[in-house]
Structure 1
Amino acid sequence: MSPKKRRVLQAILYEVFAIAFVGPILSLIFDKSPASTFGLAFVLSSVALAWNYVFNALFERWESRQTVKGRSFMRRLIHGTGFEGGLVIMLVPVMAYWLDISALSAFVANLGLFVFFFIYAIVFTWAFDRVFGLPASAEKHGDTKL
């Protein structure tokens, strides 16, 4: 699979599962209608989808220049931290506006989502790599073991 197709597929699958989780949880936590929170989840997902594509392209460019190949647990932690950290910065203002809450409340809510998504990003990427194989940037001379 080409790197571009791989990134698009990965990002779309990641966000489909994210919307299914975030919509109902936000509805329960903020006592908002599911229609509103699924709308918010879709907006958050759209921002995350764009960020996912950009971040993974940048990460794979960085990764391809590393002398040690493969995706160790530490590299997966770096990946998850970078992706989710950037996302928190972008999503707090959107959540505050949409839910009509303070930036601080949105930040706290986003931290709760961050805990879930930090683990989710690592597990999802690992599972995606298991199903679709490692990208060329991470392969060890044809070795596809994870």
Structure 2
Amino acid sequence: MSPTTRRVVQAILYEIGAVSFVGPALSWGFDQPVGESLALALLMSAIALGWNYVFNGLFEAWEARQAVKGRSARRRLVHGIGFEGGLAILLVPLAAWWLQTTLLAALLAEMVLLAFFFVYAIVFTWAFDRVFGLPRSAGGAA
């Protein structure tokens, strides 16, 4: 699979799982109608989808320049921190606006989601690599 196809497939599968979790979680956690929480989840997903594609392209370019190939636990941790940190910078202002609250309140409200997605990003990427193989940037033939 080409690097571009790999990133698109990875991002789409990742976001299907994300919306499946975030939609109901927002509805329950913020006592909002399912339709409103699903709309916010889809908007966040669209932003995350774009970020996923951009971030993985940047990460794989960095990774390809590394002397040590493969994806160790440390490299997966760096990937998760980078991805989720960047996503938080993008999504917290959106949540503050959508929920009509302060940035601090939005950040606090998103902490549970950020913790979930930190773990989810690492586990998902590991599982994706197991099914599809490592990308060329990590020394794989994918």
Q: Aligned runs of 1:58-97 on 2, under 5 Å?
A: 58-97=58-97
Matches for 1:32-71 after TM superposition, within 5 Å: 32-71=32-71
**Post-superposition offset of 1:8:** 0.2
Query: Where has structure 1 moved over 4 Å in runs of 4 or more?
Result: none
| Segment of structure 1 superposing worse, 106-115 or 76-85 | 106-115
Q: Structure 1 CA distance, aligned partners of 2:116 and 2:57? A: 23
CA distance in 1, matches of 2:43, 2:102: 18
Bigger drift between 97-106 and 15-24 goes to 97-106
Mapped to 1, the partners of 2:8 and 2:117 lie a distance apart of 19
Q: Secondary structure at the match of 1:81?
A: helix
Query: How much has 1:131 moved relative to structure 2?
Result: 0.3
Aligned to 2:90, what secondary structure does the other structure show?
helix
Instruction: With the length of structure 1 as denominator, give the TM-score of the two structures.
Output: 0.94
Q: TM-score, normalised by structure 2?
A: 0.97
The answer for unaligned runs of 5 or more in structure 2 is none
- TM-superposed CA distance for 1:96, in Å, is 1.1
Shift of 1:54: 0.3
Between the aligned partners of 1:75 and 1:121, the Cα distance in structure 2 is 13
Gaps of at least 5 residues in structure 1 are: none
**2:111 partner letter:** L
CA RMSD of aligned residues (A): 1.2
The percent of aligned pairs where both chains have the same amino acid is: 61
Size of the alignment, in residue pairs? Answer: 142
